[in-house]
Amino acid sequence: MADDLARGRTKTTYFRVHGAELSAQAQHEAQKLNDDPVAPELKPPIQAAITLASDIGGAIDEMRVSPQDRQQAREDQAKLHQWAVKARALAESL
């Protein structure tokens, strides 16, 4: 989605609405991880996952605020890509 936004290949209403759903889902996952009791040895990766989920939600929200800003979208797309790689590595390490 961020890639399409950066290249002007999407509709802003679509990005705003669907972005809100995805951002809310990311925030919800972060809250769930925060509330669930975890074993002490799992605390560092869980904390990393919470940070990732919050960052992802934040980046999507940033793009939703100004969907016309392609430069912003390109930066957020790069960040989201890095976080996706990190999230996958984190999931595999668990």
Partner 1 sequence: MGRKGQSVGGIAVKKFFQIALGIIAAIGGFVDIGELVFNTQAGADFRYTLLWAVPVGVIGIVVFAEMTGRIATVSGRPIFDVVRMRMGLNVALVTLVASLLINLITLAAEVGGAAIVLQLLFDLNVSTLILLTVVALILIVYFVPFGGIERIFGYLGCALLVYVAAAIHLKPNWHQVASGLLPSWHSSALYAYFVVGVIGAALVPYEVYFYSSGAIEDRWKISDLNLNRANAILGFTLGGILSIALIVVAAEVFFGPQVHPGYLGTTALGAQRAYGEAGLLLALLGMLFAVGGAAVECAFSGAYTLAQFAGWEWGKYRRPRDAPRFTLAWLIFFALAFVVVETGVDPVLLTEYAVILSVVALPLTYLPALLIARDKTFMGDHANGILANVLGWLYFVIILVVSVAAIPLLLVTDGGSV
Residues contributing to the site for partner 1 (CB under 8 A):
1, 4, 7-11, 13-14, 16-18, 21-22, 25, 84, 88
Tell me how far, at minimum, the Cβ of 65 lies from partner 1, in Å.
Answer: 13
Tell me how far, at minimum, the Cβ of 81 lies from partner 1, in Å.
Answer: 10
CA atoms within 13 A on the CB side of 4: 8
Tell me how far, at minimum, the Cβ of 40 lies from partner 1, in Å.
Answer: 27
Nearer to partner 1, 19 or 72 (CB): 19
Give burial (CB, 10 Å; 0-12/13-18/19+) of 56: buried
Instruction: Name every residue whose Cβ is closer than 8 Å to that of residue 3 and which is 6 or more positions away in sequence.
Output: 77
